[in-house]
Structure formats: structure tokens, C-alpha cells
Amino acid sequence: MHPAFSVIFLTTLIGVGQGLFLALYTGQLYSVIKVLPVQDSPGFYGYGSLLALVFLVTGLIASFFHLGHPERAWRSAAKWKTSWLSREVIVLPSFMGMTFIYAMIHINGWNPVLFSLSEDFIVDLSLLVGAINTVLAFSLFICTAMIYACIKFLQEWATPLTVVNYTLLGMASGFALSTAFAAYVNSDLINFYGGWAIVLTVTAFITRCASLIRNNNIKYKSNLSSAIGIRHTKIQQKAQGSMGGSFNTREYFHGAKPAFFKSIKWIFLVLVFAVPVALLSGGLANNMFILFALAFVVQYVGLIAERWFFFAQANHPQNLYYQTI
Amino acid sequence: MKQLALVIDLNVCVGCHACVTSCKEWNTSGTAGFMSDYNPYDKDPTGTFFNRVQTFEVGEYPNTQTVHFPKSCLHCEEPPCVPVCPTGASYKREEDGIVLVDYDKCIGCKYCSWACPYGAREIDENQKVMKKCTLCVDRIYDETLPEAERKPACVLACPTSARLFGDVNDPESIVSEQIRDNGGYQLMPEWGTKPANHYLPRRKTNITIHHDELTRVDNPLNKERQLPGPGEDEQTLDDIMSW
């Protein structure tokens, strides 16, 4: 497939936003059950969620560049019963709205106690809103990934690993950002977030490698013989019907040189996994904000390469009809 | 349930591209808007087409066959492009099984083109909506046309009658008959899309003749041979007389 930067930015940016929100809410939840110290409500959870919202909004704006008719985008909520894209279109704004409400509750202190499960476990409004939003965050990961994983003949994508990777990579980048954010506001959650950022990055490395290995050994179900229905081992295309290219040659081929294509794989493996883990470890050892910030930036740049490779690697069966001019 | 479709006979398609040009001519003049072209008379011409003829060479020299292969939307009975559409712009008509795009609802997200294994859909760079073969839905029901012309433009244009049009779910239709009698098949059956369009394979007309059929068993001359006559090497009366 031809990687579209609008979609690359959408999927990576909202992944960061979802991951950052999950990190903040984990921090809040753990502080309620007294595993972690309580943070300053407006300054930490409130502005942290607004930061997540910035990423979500930027991602949403990027996605509009993918559309031929952005002014009709509202129509895309219609077919949620069958289309994962439609489901994403519903879940993403819901998640953004709830993130905004979560931020407002913390910033303005609209946080009445709703009920208590025990003497220590007191549920206030922000905790409830956050719990609902956590469900939305994970639903959004599933919707986004299933858009790709549900197309069964794009065999590189049609695997549960796609969902796992979108979720873990989004969370890893979000937790990396939360570490930098915690360091920036001098919170005492740096070690908690930094530790989890490393754990998530290493786990994502394992699952992403698993999908790379799987995709290396893919046996394609379609071939030229099934494409034109003639049983012969030697079939060659002589003409594709047009000489100046078409949508079919532009949309489904990445068009990059093989050396470039291969190098992107190694580039993203280094930038998404190796360098951030080293920088996060260095940051945790020296408690330096700049290292955490650098870890996040490097990982995000790596994620752009990772998503580019994800799209470029998918081999669409229609390409069988467009082997030569 | 009615399912209109094309049957394309690869045995008689000569690759003249008349279906391509007639399709473009009819559909670019339609009320739904023209099919845009870019650099039509320049280097790298490109544009929107519903139908294309491709050419494949099967086998190795000297045993090769050149196969001309017209390709357009197959109007699948299980169209994978329809459920993925977020707006419902991509739909399959209940009444005749034609898969269509509502150009007023399409947001141009191209997701349906990703979900079509045949590459049958493309975005019109001018209108920014997805387009594909409509089976000339604007002419097959047009009662102002003579009945014989209520067929897709490509079918009417084909000089060798390689394109047939009809209801593949009606066992009496010409298309069903051809699929049945001449081994009609579907493209990429492995994805379960159940394309309504079928292709008829290359076929050779062979008859089997056994050796004993080359000599006539009940030849009356066999009886006559038993009369006394000259042997194989002996002179016959004709040889003597023809001097």
C-alpha cells in the first residue's frame, strides 16, 4: 500500500494521546488505593489530560487531509454496525470529549464524592469519568487497528498482532510522554511512569518483531493464476490497459526503492525501541527531564517510520493485475 | 433474487478496447458528472476508468496464448467494499444486485478501494469521490431507448460479442446458460466475495477420432474386392488401356 501521511499522523498522534491519558488515570487510580502518592489535581491530571487532548486534536485534524470531502465527515458515523472506520469515528470524539471533561473536573475542582467502596476507596466524579474514558481509550485502540486487521486479503494486516501492536505502541509512546511530563512538573511519579514506559516498549518490541517474523513468512493466497482464472505456472502480464499509471498504480504500491524500504525497518526498530529504552534508563538514573523528552521525541519519530513501514509492507492482491505497463 | 452481471468470454475477446472507450464515452457524458482525465494528450496520461482491458501471456514460447482480459467491477454477491464504508455511500441494490456509490454521500476516504481485492474502485481526482462500474444503471432501465439497446455500453460496443449481460440468478438467462455450458468461473474465489461477473475460459474445439473410425467398416467395396481381380502389383485394365 502507499503510505498516506495523514493516516500515519492520525494513528500515531492519537496513540500518544490515548497512552498519556491511560498513564495519568493509572496514576490517579493507584493514588486512590494508596499505591502511589496523590498528585496535584489541576496541575497534574488536569493539564496532563489537556496535553493528551492536544495530541488527539492534532491527530483528528491530520485525518481530515485523508478525505476527498472533509465537509461530509459527519456522515461517517452512520454505518457503525458494519464498519470499523465508522466505529472509530464515533469513539474518537467520545474519547476526546471525555478527556476534556476529565481535565475540566480536575482543573476546576468539580469533583464531588459519589460513593465509597470501602473506607479507603472513595470514588469521586473524576475517577468514574476516568474509568469510562479508559474503556473508550482501549476501544479506540481496537477500532483503529481493526480498520486494518479486518481486511482479510491484506494478509500482513489481518492478524490479532495488529491490534496488539497498535495498543502497545500507543501506550509505550504515551507513557514515555507521561514520564517527560512528570519530570517537567517535578512529580514523584517519574520512576513509575519511566519504568512502565520501558516495560511497554520492550513488550511492544516483542510483539512487533513477532508480526515482522510472521509477515516475512506469509504465504499469499492469491496469485496471478487465481486472479485471471487461468491455470498455468507461467503467466506474464504484457499490458495493464493504461500507460501513464492509474489510481491502481498510485494507491497500492509504496513506490520506494527496495533499499530504502528495508532500511526503514531497521530505522524504526532502533528509533522506537532501542534508543528510547536507553534514554529512559539514562533519564531514570540521572533524573534528567531532557533525556525523557528526547526519549519521547525519538520514539515518536520512530513511530512515524514504523507506521510508514506498516502500510508499505502490506501487499494488496490487486497488485497482481498491475505488474507491468 | 435478481443479480445482474456481465459474462466475459476470454475465448473471443480480441483486446480491441472498444468496451473501454464506449464505457468512458457513455459514463463521462452522464448526469453523475464526467470522469476526469489528467494530461490526456501529454506525457503520462491518466484518468478515471470503469473498465480496462489487460493483456497476459500464458505459457512459454512457442506454446503461448495471448489472453486479453477486460476488468471492471465484478458486482460481488458478498461485496467486501460495502460493509467497510463508514457513510453507507457504497451499497448493493436489493432489486438487481448492482453495487453502486452514492456520490453525494461519499467522503472520499478510499477505504472501500482498500477493501476490494480486484482494484475495481478508484477515486475521481476532480470530484473526489469513489467511482466504479455501474453496469450502466442509467441506460439498462431507460425506456426511451429501444429494448435491444437497454444494455451496458461495453456490451453493445463489443464487436465479437465477448461480453454478455443478464441475470446470473435466472437459470434461463443467456449468461447463466453460458456459465453452465462453457465453464464460467469467478476471479479470486479464495476470498469468498462471490463475484457476480463470470469469465469464460479459453477453449479449443476438439473431437476424438479413433483409428478404426478412419476406415469404413461397412464399405460395400469390401464385398466387391472379393471378386477375382488383379493383385496389388499387377496391371489393371485402366493401366493397359490408357496409352
How far apart are the CA of B138 and the nearest CA of chain A, in angstroms? 24
- Secondary element (H or E) of residue A239: strand A235-239
Q: In A185-286, which ranges are continuous DSSP H helix?
A: 190-216, 224-228, 247-251, 258-268, 275-286
Of B43, B44, B122, the CB nearest to A248: B122
Cα separation, A74 vs A89, in Å, equals 9
Interface of B with A in 140-179 (CB under 8 A): none
Which one of B50, B56, B90, B124 would you mutate to disrupt binding with A, by most A Cβ within 10 Å of its Cβ? B56
Enumerate the residues of chain A whose CB falls inside 8 A of the CB of residue B43. 244
**B87–chain A Cβ distance below 8 A for any pair:** yes
- Grid cell locating A90: 464515533
How far apart are the CA of A246 and the nearest CA of chain B, in angstroms? 6
Parse chain A into domains and list their residue ranges. 5-218+241-321
Looking at every residue in chain B, the average pLDDT score rounds to 92
Instruction: Tell which residue, A69, A61, A73, has the closest CA to residue A14.
Output: A61
Residues 6+ apart with CB under 8 A from A176: A197, A201, A276, A280, A292, A295, A296, A299
**B14–chain A Cβ distance below 8 A for any pair:** no
Yes or no, beta carbons of B109 and A76 under 8 Å apart: yes
ipTM, interface predicted TM-score of the complex: 0.94
Enumerate the residues of chain A whose CB falls inside 8 A of the CB of residue B117. 153, 222, 316-318
Give the number of A-B residue pairs with CB atoms closer than 8 Å: 175
Yes or no, beta carbons of B115 and A151 under 8 Å apart: yes
Yes or no, beta carbons of B59 and A234 under 8 Å apart: yes
Place B135 in a pLDDT band, splitting at 50, 70 and 90.
very high
- Grid cell locating A10: 492520525
Tens-place pLDDT, residues A226-268: 999 999 999 999 999 998 899 999 999 999 999 999 999 999 9
Domain A5-218+241-321 has CATH 1.20.1630.10: yes
Enumerate the residues of chain B whose CB falls inside 8 A of the CB of residue A238. 55-57, 66
Enumerate the residues of chain B whose CB falls inside 8 A of the CB of residue A64. none
**B114–chain A Cβ distance below 8 A for any pair:** yes
Cα separation, A120 vs A64, in Å, equals 46
Of B44, B111, B115, the CB nearest to A245: B44
DSSP labels for chain B? ---EEEEEETTT-----HHHHHHHHHHHTSTT----EESTTSSS-EE--SEEEEEEEEEETTEEEEEEEEEE----SS-THHHH-SSS-EEE-TTT--EEE-TTT-----HHHHT-TT---EE-TTT-SEE---TTHHHHT-TTS-GGG-S-HHHHH-TT--EEEEETT-TTSHHHHHHHHTT-B-S-GGG----S-EEEPP--------GGGSS-TT-THHHHHTS----SSSPPHHHHH--
Bridge partners, A221 (sequence order): none
- Grid cell locating B128: 473526489
Residue A145 has a pLDDT of 98
Interface of B with A in 176-235 (CB under 8 A): 185-191, 199, 201-202
- Grid cell locating B105: 454521500
Residues 6+ apart with CB under 8 A from A129: A98, A101, A102, A105
Longest dimension (CA), chain A: 77
Cβ contact A41:A194 at 8 Å: no
Residues 6+ apart with CB under 8 A from B93: B99, B100
Residue A41 has a pLDDT of 80
Tens-place pLDDT, residues A169-186: 999 999 999 999 999 999
**Long-range contacts at A261-267 (CB < 8 A, ≥ 24 apart):** A261/A309, A261/A312, A264/A305, A264/A308, A264/A309, A264/A312, A265/A212, A265/A309, A267/A302, A267/A305
Which domains are assigned to chain B? Answer: 4-200 (3.30.70.20), 216-241 (no CATH)
Cα B12 to the chain's mean position, in Å?
9
Yes or no, beta carbons of B185 and A229 under 8 Å apart: yes
Tens-place pLDDT, residues A281-315: 999 999 999 999 999 999 999 999 999 999 999 99
Q: What is the distance between the terminal CA atoms of chain B, rounded to a whole angstrom?
A: 81
Residue A325 has a pLDDT of 84
Residue A104 has a pLDDT of 96
Per-residue pLDDT of chain A (325 residues; tens, 9 = 90+): 999 999 999 999 999 999 999 999 999 999 988 888 888 888 899 999 999 999 999 999 999 999 999 999 999 999 999 999 999 999 999 999 999 999 999 999 998 889 888 888 889 999 999 999 999 999 999 999 999 999 999 999 999 999 999 999 999 999 999 999 999 999 999 999 999 999 999 999 999 999 999 999 999 999 999 999 999 999 999 999 998 899 999 999 999 999 999 999 999 999 999 999 999 999 999 999 999 999 999 999 999 999 999 999 999 999 999 999 8
Residue B81 has a pLDDT of 97
Compare all CA atoms of chain A with the CA of B127 and give the residue at the minimum distance. Answer: A68
Place B230 in a pLDDT band, splitting at 50, 70 and 90.
low
Tell me the pTM: 0.92
Yes or no, beta carbons of B188 and A84 under 8 Å apart: no
Cβ contact A207:A164 at 8 Å: yes
Compare all CA atoms of chain B with the CA of A249 and give the residue at the minimum distance. Answer: B119
CB atoms within 10 A of CB A85: 24
